[in-house]
Amino acid sequence: MQTHDIRNRFLTYFENNGHTRVPSSSLILDDPNLLFVNAGMVQFKPFFLGEEPPAYPRATSVQKCVRTGDIDEVGKTTRHNTFFQMAGNFSFGDYFKAGAITHAWELITKSRSDGGYGFDPERLWATVYHDDDEGFQLWRELSGLPEERIQRRGAEDNYWDMGVPGPGGPCSEIYYDRGPEHGRDGGPEADEDRYLEIWNLVFMQEIRGEVSPKKGGPVLGELPNKNIDTGMGIERVALLLQGADNVYETDLVRPVITRAEEMSGRRYGRDHTDDVRFRVIADHARSGVMLIGDGVTPGNDGRGYVLRRLLRRIVRSVRLLGVNEPVLGEFASVVRDTMAESYPELATEFARIDSVVRTEEEAFLQTLTTGSKIFDLAAGETKSSGGSVLAGDKAFQLHDTYGFPIDLTLEMAAEQGLKVDEEGFRRLMAEQRQRAKDDAAQRKTGHSDGAAYRSILDSHGVTDFLGYSDLATESRVIGLLVDGRPTPAAGEGTEVEVILDRTPFYAEGGGQLADSGVITTDGATVEVRDVQSPVAGLNVHRGKVTSGELMLDAGAHAEVDATRRRSVSRSHSATHLVHAGVRKALGTQAAQAGSLNAPGRLRFDFTSPGGQVPASVLADVEDEVNDVLLHDYDVRSEVVTLDEARKQGAIAFFGEKYGDKVRVITIGDYSKELCGGTHVHRSGEIGVIKLLSEASIGSGVRRVEALVGLDAFRFLAREHVLVSQLAEQFKAKPEELPDRIGQTVERLRAAEKELEKLRGAQLLSSAGTLADQAEDVNGVALVAVAAPDGVAGNDLRTLAGEVRNRLGSRPGVVALFSAAGEKVNFVVATTSAARDQGLAAGKLVPAFAEKIGGRGGGKPDLAQGGGSNPAGVSDAVTALRAALAQR
């Protein structure tokens, strides 16, 4: 049975049993605790945590997942994978244990002709939580499993929670006996290689505290609504139904290995070392393509670093298999061809995916050259100091600055007989990741841990946002926090967080800055500076009580700063137009990678694997979007289903979480995007858009910055004044300025070259005078003086060399000093005859360097340096003279 069929049978079965089919979410969601989605239930967390009311009582999905904790183990075993598909069925206060067990058993054991998987019931085992007598009995009654094939296990294996205080409960796992050739008898407790887990049923029925029951913590009580969360591993079921020995030999993974075999001429299964490399290629190619498909681009931190590491491990593995030509595009094509049936976006977005992997591979080849040099230097310093361990900060620098994977550093260190301080490296990595998480979490939750927000949400429900149509509302204060803790009142001067039952204030999101404004009650005024949504559905107004005392449950008048809102809305609508213009010019691979919509300006980030965008293209984009403004198109918003929005061609953004209903913003026939932000009513309201700059902000990602509306007009007005002034200065028409300025610059360059020649001639003329002034010191002709004014750098070396030449065959030493503000530079040169007597320029420097507070060095014929005491030049000359006299 093919993997796509396994996937479809699961979804069809649960749809036929009253479940809503929910599409897989993106691998990247706005969750500060997760780098990537790593389980099927992640997109439903708000339902389980009570942050949002469930949109349906039952759901089913096949969620794409990435787990990165064991990247180093991938390939070394056949058990570790980074990308996998998790099929699940979910009940939100609907059916519970009996329903979950019945559904799972029926689907697994039903014949293939009837839409099931056809597993032999005699080879199936179940596990339950050690004191879950109800679960044990239900398995006996509903499946007919004998008691000896239902094993009780402890909390570490059969208790589940989210890793934070909140819902939890016992779980029950289904195992398949692969036979005695795979291990010993005794069920899952004895051997989990022979008895392969294929499905986990979580019975979410309890509330846990700070310490998980997995670690001996107490259960605080029962959930008011009991939930079901299950996860069936698609790849594991595939290997069983396809008779494969492991995931790497299944229909969606083996083709990547086959392509690697064709390219390398080597065969999988013949050599363990090569097999590790083949498996790394197969696993990472799938993960990399899926991540890029969801909008991740290679970078040096966070998600971008994980992707970069995956792709670069592929390149290394292929080269160790003897393949030196570019390979990532080839493997990406194989992944597209095998996976697109379930994930059609891989085909529609393949031009962008292909560009990203090819650009990254090219960059990595350069990194290998540069990084290897840096590594060799660090390894040499470690050895020369008698060490045998490369410092963790050196390994981190290689990764952070040069994109050098730690496993490559480890391998190269081993080749030189060195170890690496992995603990120090990982500590620095962890600190970097934690800083990023803390920053994101702090921005969202401020001082609170989230519990206070959830309590307000549970008590009062979601905030009614009226800001699309109203800029002022009559509201009620339903929540008041100071330093993250609820309070009944807050006095003048207090920083507060205010939650209203209804609000016109837009909470920061989708690249749009939050509204500002004022909340007033009968007894207080609050200046609102920021609005966030730390818990989905709840708008939290942050600001300061500027007068009076703010009371909980008070009636309030909430009013947005209308001028600022309109300016931000103009920027947001302008961003949509710039996005559309860039995509028209560069193609669909130019996908939005971030944005900032602020008063009067915007910042738009987009993927551009081809590198810098030509100025002529940007000029065309600017002309086109301003033409849209002249047409004064209607800007419409409508709420439709996600499927309908996609059929309309609306652009959705990678990493965004969408519900069944989405808001679509349409600007004429030019732009159509999913967006929750605020916008103008007609495109003409934007006024004018002026693109200011385009630059790189990371590998394959470019940034355009622009001014909008009055800010753009003022910028253009200033430019007009500047052009007028230049035209007056050059006595030319504005259109003649480029040629006239170019001619002037060329004349200046020619004049500078002529001055350089004159300065050189002047130096040469002074060289003769200085040589004639040489004094005899112990048989050596010494010229030690301050150079003529304005001589420094290369000119000082040139002059010293010319004076030395003028000394002819005599033993001679030339020492010239040049003061420059509070510093002094010097050059020492020696003739051949002087060097024959043992007078090396570099060895003469210590004789006088202290006098000018400096140091220097060089070769026997020429040395140079500097100091911080120009007043000491006379003493330095005296010291050098004395050193020559005493030799």
**Which residues are annotated binding-site positions for Zn(2+)?**
572, 576, 675, 679
Cβ atoms within 10 Å of 347's Cβ, excluding its own = 15
User: Whole-angstrom Cα distance, residue 124 to residue 175?
Assistant: 6
Q: What's at 770, amino acid-wise?
A: L
189 three-class SS: coil
Q: How far apart are CA 407 and CA 428, in angstroms?
A: 16
Q: How many CB atoms lie within 10 A of CB 124?
A: 20
Distance of CA 454 to the CA centre of its chain: 28
CA distances, 321 to each of 258, 261, 409, 724 (Å): 13, 9, 19, 65
Structure tokens, 266: 């080597």
Name residue 300's amino acid. Answer: N
The SS3 call for residue 854 is strand
- What does the block give as tokens for 604? 């738009």
What are the angstrom distances between the C-alpha of 415 and each of 290, 376, 420? 34, 11, 12
Q: Which of 541, 538, 534, 532 is nearest to 462 (CA)?
A: 538
Residues 6+ apart with CB under 8 A from 688: 626, 629, 708, 709, 712, 713, 716
What span, in angstroms and rounded, lies between the C-alpha atoms of 322 and 367? 19
CB atoms within 10 A of CB 269: 12
Secondary structure letter of residue 660 according to DSSP = S
Of 218, 186, 357, the closest CA to residue 286 belongs to 357
Report yes or no: 436 and 473 within 8 Å, Cβ to Cβ: no
Nearest to 864 by CA among 831, 820, 818, 821: 818
CA distances from 71 to 79, 259, 519 (A): 12, 22, 51
C-beta of residue 823 within 8 angstroms of C-beta of residue 853: no
How do strand 389-390 and strand 419-420 relate by DSSP bridges? Answer: parallel
End-to-end CA distance of the chain: 93
Which of 166, 94, 172, 102 has its CA nearest to residue 133? 172
Which residue has 């054991």 as its token pair?
109
E strands in 410-560: 419-420, 464-465, 472-482, 485-486, 489-490, 495-500, 502-503, 517-520, 524-532, 540-548, 550-551, 555-560
Instruction: Tell me if 679 sits within 8 A of 637, measured CB to CB.
Output: yes
- Phi, psi torsion values for 525, nearest 5 degrees: -130, 135
Q: Which residues are annotated as a binding site?
A: 572, 576, 675, 679
The amino acid sitting at 259 is R
Residue 233 tokens, joined = 């591993």
User: Which residues have a Cβ under 8 Å from the Cβ of 108 and sit 6 or more positions away?
Assistant: 116, 117, 119, 124, 174, 198, 199
Residues in contact with 365: Cβ distance below 8 Å, sequence separation at least 6, in sequence order: 315
Cα–Cα distance for residue pair 313/260, rounded to 1 Å: 14
Spatial CA neighbour of 281 closest among 75, 64, 79, 71: 75
Look up residue 661 and give its DSSP letter: E
Cα pseudo-dihedral 76, 80, 82, 86, rounded to 10: 160
Q: Which helix (H) or strand (E) holds 166?
A: strand 166-177
